[in-house]
Amino acid sequence: MSRLSSWVAIGDSFTEGVGDEALDGGYVGWADRLAETLATSDPDFTYANLAVRGKLLREVVEEQVPVVEQAKPDLVTLCAGGNDLIVPGSDVDHIANEFEQAVVRLRAAGCDVVVFTGPDPRSQPVVRRVRGKVGIYNAHLRAIADRHNARVVDLWAMPVLADLRAWSDDRLHFSPEGHRRIALRTAEVLGVSVTEDWRDPLPPEPAMPWLRLRQADLAWTRTYLLPWVRRQLRGESMGDGIRPKRPELGPIVDQHRHNGRATA
């Protein structure tokens, strides 16, 4: 793509960076990691991240898309709809139609658009129940991108994300290593030069004994699954009361000091 001098990232917890904790108590995530890389080669580069955990696609469209339409950045990245898919009775075709209308608006604002497919949730105990819906939604997203000349970061096609080390302890969000790999993959889609390859295999890991696996499952159920179910029953969201961490386009002057290896 042409020179990238401004970027607004919109969406939910994936783009906010949940699971990739910063030393200051916030979140880093694939988008901030990639933005830091882009800023090192262009001192005039500006970046905003409007994503907030727990947002449904409708909320992203209503709250975040208008900000992009006003800012008119060179690039907007959009990943949303995953939280809608796990709602019982949700209609994947309707969700995809809402997503397409958002892409139409972003393209009309003059932005290059990058969208993300969902990763294969086969190994994830909660999300795998909607694996079929994720697969259908991904097919819609690829078709939408083709119709509107958008780029696709295909997370489903990243085998490294099948490794549990790419996921955080809650098994719903990516770990720092998962976010780092996604930043590298997105850089590749954008044609940004990087020094590492997202395809590099993770080092071998000793197999965990069966009893420890079951103990880990029980601990996960108490710590993450039951609170998640209670929030769903109450109609609550992780993002209630949370504000975007980078609400306006600006230079990267406060780079995160984060755990894990280098950014993209």
**% of the chain residues with pLDDT over 90:** 68
The reported pLDDT for the residue numbered 258 is: 53
Q: Are 33 and 264 in contact (CB under 8 A)?
A: yes
The reported pLDDT for the residue numbered 142 is: 98
Distance CA 244, CA 56 (A): 15
Amino acid at 189: V
Q: Is the pLDDT of residue 245 over 80?
A: yes
Which tens digits make up the pLDDT trace of 107-145?
Answer: 999 999 999 999 998 877 767 888 999 999 999 999 999
Q: Are 12 and 59 in contact (CB under 8 A)?
A: no
Q: Which of these ranges, 17-21, 169-173, 232-236, has the smallest mean pLDDT?
A: 232-236
The reported pLDDT for the residue numbered 116 is: 98
The reported pLDDT for the residue numbered 81 is: 96
The hierarchical CATH code for the domain 6-198+208-251 is 3.40.50.1110
Of the ranges 135-149, 163-177, 191-205, the best mean pLDDT one: 135-149
More confident residue, 253 or 119: 119
Neighbour-count burial of 163, counting CB atoms closer than 10 A to its CB (0-12 exposed, 13-18 middle, 19+ buried): middle
Average pLDDT over residues 144-155: 98
Q: Is the pLDDT of residue 149 over 70?
A: yes
The reported pLDDT for the residue numbered 261 is: 46
Which tens digits make up the pLDDT trace of 41-75?
Answer: 898 999 999 999 999 999 999 999 999 999 999 99
Mean pLDDT computed over every residue of the chain: 89
Q: Of 46, 47, 61, nearest to 12 (Cα)?
A: 61
149: phi > 0 → left, psi -120 to 50 → alpha, else beta; which? left
Which tens digits make up the pLDDT trace of 73-102?
Answer: 999 999 999 999 988 889 999 999 999 999
